[in-house]
Amino acid sequence: MKKQPAMLKGLLWGLFSATATASAFLLPAFIVGQFFAAPYNHNLSPYLLYGSIVIIYFCALYHALYRIKASDHDLHLLSTFAKACGLFMIVTILFLFIP
Amino acid sequence: MKELEQKLEPKWWKRTEGAQAYHLREFSGILIAVWCIYFLNIPETIGLTISNPWYGYLMNGIGLVGAILHTSSWLKIMPKLTPFNLNQQQQNLLFGGLILVWIAVSAAIFLILWP
Amino acid sequence: MQRIITINIKRYDPETEEVSIAAYKVETEQDATILDILNFLNEHKNAAISYRFSCRMSICGSCGAMVNGRPTLMCSTFIRDLPDDVTVEPMRNFPVVRDLVVDTDNAMDKMRDALPYTSFVSKKSKKPLKQTPEQLKKLKQTSQCIKCMLCYSACPVYAVDDEFIGPAATATAYRYDQDNHDDLKEERMDSLTSKDGVWKCSFVGECSDVCPKNVDPALAIQKMKIMGVLHTTKKLIKPSKSKT
């Protein structure tokens, strides 16, 4: 029987590939900038500034979640992700008590 | 006569170096996802204000480790996936070129967002 | 130089459904293979172990098994490369028929999905179709596949989901896709980009690691994914009428 292409899966993987490539180039420098918590460049148009931040964020989030979802059925990463989120909340709450 | 079914053992990813490297690569996705949650200021959104700067350093540190893992593994794979059938030397050159591009893009981000 | 090794063979009897490990101490030459030892055990020790083999020179792909936890061809696994304690088991991810014989029908059926042939029907020219050395170079690596199924044995995705098209079928599809004689690209890409196609691959890379012919199926799958995205986008923009 002739098989039909799974259009959505193809597009989702294509988007993953693009966002992962963008994250590979953009994310490390962006996070290092966040380390210093310096204010953003106010000479930039707000649309350009926040637009680029949104794009970087979307690329990071999409490719990370796609990786977790795609690896779930062989590495059960969803459960590991859930544990990581739990740990994140515990660390966050702990820091409330550390001045 | 019954055939014996064989199932994947739970810690399969420990059995070879390649599988361990794969696991590490995919784990970077979790680190970045945790950073994304922090970056969205979700703790503040739900009423948890944290003034301690070490929290920010820790969360950004987690994100940075994930980002570096992802960048190094992704840029290493990219030269192999071109449609040009490159030999090993050409792939190494392309990898070097991609690292230079990464450095240039990183410098541009610093100059544009935080001059 | 002679050496004494202990070979532990995982055995399965389908009549009693009993799984057991049979251990044999064997004095052998360093340049003997695992297959030589199994033949020796059957001929001289009445071991009656069931296993497949044919060419004894890594061409037919029949003698796949797990040797010390790694999928390999028994005819090209030499004693000199192994420790004194060797474990031989049937290939992973396949149902075991008896002892070291596994049922690979499911994986072999996946080959059909790769449309592993070219079609000359649509070519109207009566001239012979030439292939230059450069054109041959594109498909040479993936054409080395001997369908030994070691890659399916190593693939963790296939282990949990036997609907996945798998490494060998995709490598075969890539071979035909790169062939300048081929004119079935559309149908082949439709098959490969289906729900059980290349999208399920997580790029672990174990398949390429165990391949005895250096076919590199992992790379072939990633390249097919990229082509799959272009194919999917093209279909969305310009849906083609299906050929009857």
B71 shares contact with chain A (CB less than 8 Å): yes
Here the tokens at position C234 are 């093209």
Q: What's the CA gap between A87 and A68, in Å, rounded?
A: 17
Are B59 and B38 in contact by the 8 Å Cβ rule? The answer is yes
Phi, psi of A43 (to 5 degrees): -75, -15
pLDDT in tens, C29-40: 989 999 999 999
Mean pLDDT computed over C160-164 = 89
How far apart are the CA of C221 and the nearest CA of chain A, in angstroms?
13
Q: Which of A26, A30, A68 is opposite residue B29, by nearest beta carbon?
A: A68
pLDDT in tens, C216-225: 999 999 999 9
pLDDT at A87 over 90: no
Mean pLDDT computed over C48-70 = 95
C103 shares contact with chain B (CB less than 8 Å): yes
DSSP at C180:
T
Q: What is the pLDDT of residue C125?
A: 62
Q: How large a percentage of chain B has pLDDT more than 90?
A: 34
C155 shares contact with chain B (CB less than 8 Å): no
Here the tokens at position C143 are 């054409």
Assign C50 a pLDDT band (cuts: 50, 70, 90).
very high
Q: What is the pLDDT of residue C244?
A: 43
Under an 8 A CB cutoff, do C160 and A73 touch? Answer: yes
Alpha helical stretches, state H, chain A: 7-36, 46-75, 77-97
Q: What is the pLDDT of residue C120?
A: 65
Phi, psi of C23 (to 5 degrees): -105, 135
pLDDT at B55 over 90: no
Q: What is the pLDDT of residue B65?
A: 94
Mean pLDDT computed over C200-226 = 93
Mean pLDDT computed over C168-196 = 91
**Across all residues in chain C, what is the average pLDDT?**
91
**Across all residues in chain A, what is the average pLDDT?**
85
**Across all residues in chain B, what is the average pLDDT?**
85
Q: What is the pLDDT of residue C55?
A: 95
Are B38 and A88 in contact by the 8 Å Cβ rule? The answer is yes
Q: Report the 10 Å Cβ neighbour count for B113.
A: 20
Instruction: Say which residue, B20 or B46, is predicted with more confidence.
Output: B20
Q: Which of A15-19, A59-63, B3-7, C6-10 has the lowest mean pLDDT?
A: B3-7
Q: What is the pLDDT of residue C155?
A: 92
Under an 8 A CB cutoff, do B112 and A41 touch? Answer: yes
Q: What is the pLDDT of residue A89?
A: 83
Sort out which chain B residues have CB atoms less than 8 A from C92's CB and list them: 6, 8
Q: What is this model's ipTM?
A: 0.85
DSSP at C118:
-
Q: What's the CA gap between C115 and C187, in Å, rounded?
A: 8
Q: What is the pLDDT of residue C127?
A: 65
Residue window 16-45, chain A: list those with CB within 8 Å of chain C: 17
Domains of chain C: 2-102 (3.10.20.30), 105-237 (1.10.1060.10)
Q: Which of A33, A84, A85 is opposite residue B114, by nearest beta carbon?
A: A33
Q: How large a percentage of chain C has pLDDT more than 90?
A: 74
